[in-house]
Amino acid sequence: MGVLCLCNVGTTDILRDGRPLPRPRDDGATLLSQGKRLRAAREHDGDSDWLAFRDSLAFPIIAPVLDHIVAHHDSVSALVLFATDQDRSRAGDEHWQRDTASYGEFIRWWLLHGADLRPKVGKIEVKKLGGINPSMYDEAYECYGPMVARLDAPEVERAYVVLAGGTPACNTALILHSVRVFQERCEALYVPEGGGPAPLNIGHQLVHHTLRSVIEQRLQASDFAAALALLERQDYHSGLCALVAHAAHRAEFDFDQSQDSLQEAYRRSADRPRIRAFLDGLGDPLGPLRREALAALVVELYHNSRISFRLARYAGLLGRVFRLQEATARLVVERLHGVPTDDTKDRTTLGRFIESHPSLKAFLTSQPHEGQALRWDKVNVPLLMALIQYALEGGADRGGGPILGDEELERYRTIYDLLVRMDSLRQLRNKSVIAHGFRGVSRRKIEEQYAGTDLFGDMEHLLDALGIPCQVDPFTPIVDFVVEELRRAP
């Protein structure tokens, strides 16, 4: 089933002696009966009556449409004729007589058995629009939906939709559902009176604008990977696509690839001064992150956690909360003790610092975690929290002076308390698939487990206590700009 043709049957789809028939329901049935009789009688009575009957008929819409499709595809895999078949008691005799169900049956018979030169059409099916008023848009739309949907199959390469014949409501319903189901595979044809089929761009326009709406929704939900795939599918400007790719990679913490996409966006937008100006305004958004600045990472984790929440990716949210907790603890320890905590570069730096600090070492030794003595040969959250706690309890630096003055004590205690509160999610994370277990994660479970009342409110409070501005997230300006550019496009 490579090529479909979908066509509404109208009251002018069959002409007899160049004129429409006045009562399509009865006249169509008469044509079918007469055609079958004359065709069967050819062997006994000769061809004259049959030829006269044949030559009196014309099919001003379906015949040129099939010729057009066959010229482009060699054959039509299936022709589907949609014909009206109202309830007589509801429609009244006049409108009921103008139903085209009999026309559909006659056209089907004619193409299969009546025409001397049968066009290259495979399956021909008549679908009757029973029980609806074909002038009512809402009824037509509801009726066509399931019928068109059932026509789709992986092997359908092209679906031609004929926007001629039929009522405006039926033609509207047919094209809307055909675009919905077949998308880029849908092509609309119009047959003007006395002319040949003319391809219309309406199908592609509907697909384009529908997908643009979906792209906007995905961007506003921060689902940048999905938005990017649709942008590329619709062949939007490559500079705009590269800008969204920058956001997609940044959302996955791939800052190097994100930087490459940002540079690619600049290279590709030489012909788009608006994009260039926007990129210039971004400056160097990834610099601190690529230099592995902890304060920048904490802010990034906060905004990224919000993205995970919006997309209902709750397991990923727990991972980001843990990383924010750990990065914040590292940042605080480095501020309080003046020692680097990055054990990926030198595992011995923090350990040597603790060994050279007798009072700190004694404090840590007295602070077991879950029944185990703390170790400092590897940096982890329990060790970092104990290092903060030492300062909060009046611990001295190596010179014997207090680490925290009275004016700073309250601020760092707030930070510590917030980190402890976030640690209430640790068991939920550890039992999930992102750590050591198999348990699922949901919003309800997070809200039940979290000791605070507002996780993101606590994150904002944490950033404020750290003295880190909680500015607008880095993705919002990109989303706003790209959406504006999409709406400016034709």
Residue 188 is predicted with a pLDDT of 93
pLDDT digits (tens, 9 = 90+) for 248-260: 999 999 999 999 9
pLDDT at 303 over 70: yes
Is 273's pLDDT higher than 90? yes
Quick one: average pLDDT of 280-295? Answer: 94
pLDDT at 164: 86
Output the pLDDT for position 378: 84
In this predicted structure, what is the pLDDT of residue 344? Answer: 61
pLDDT category, 15, cuts 50, 70, 90? very high
Q: How confident is the model at residue 117 (pLDDT cuts 50, 70, 90)?
A: low
CA-based nearest residue to 139, from 90, 182, 209, 106: 90
Residue 347: the pLDDT is 59
> CA–CA separation, 175 vs 161, rounded Å?
7
Distance CA 33, CA 46 (A): 18
Mean per-residue pLDDT for 257-280? 96
pLDDT tens-digit series, residues 335-374: 999 999 886 655 578 888 999 999 999 999 998 887 888 8
Instruction: Determine the average pLDDT of the residues in 274-301.
Output: 94
Q: Where are the beta strands (DSSP E) in 41-143?
A: 57-58, 76-85, 121-130
Within 13 Å, how many C-alpha atoms sit on residue 275's CB side?
25
Nearest 5°: the CA angle 119, 122, 125 is 105
Domain ranges of the chain: 3-200, 209-285+477-488, 294-473
Q: DSSP state, 447?
A: H
What was the pLDDT predicted at 471? Answer: 73
What is the rounded average pLDDT for all residues in the chain? 91
For residue 142, how many other CB atoms are within 10 A of its CB?
Answer: 12
Q: Ramachandran region of residue 253, left (φ > 0), alpha (ψ -120 to 50) or beta?
A: left
pLDDT score at 62: 92
pLDDT at residue 345, rounded to an integer: 58
pLDDT tens digits, one per residue of 137-173 = 999 999 999 999 999 998 999 999 998 888 999 999 9
pLDDT tens digits, one per residue of 375-421: 888 889 999 999 999 999 998 888 888 899 888 999 999 999 999 99
Instruction: Give the predicted TM-score (pTM) of the model.
Output: 0.74
Kindly state the average pLDDT of the residues 278-295: 94
Bridge partners (DSSP) of residue 8 are 82
* pLDDT value of position 101: 95
Q: What is the pLDDT of residue 221?
A: 93
Q: Which long-range contacts (CB under 8 A, 24 or more apart) does 355-361 make?
A: 356/398, 357/398, 359/395, 359/396, 360/387, 360/390, 360/395
What CATH architecture does domain 3-200 belong to?
3-Layer(aba) Sandwich (3.40)
| pLDDT(115) > 90 | no
| 170-211: pLDDT as tens digits | 999 999 999 999 988 999 999 987 788 998 888 888 888 888
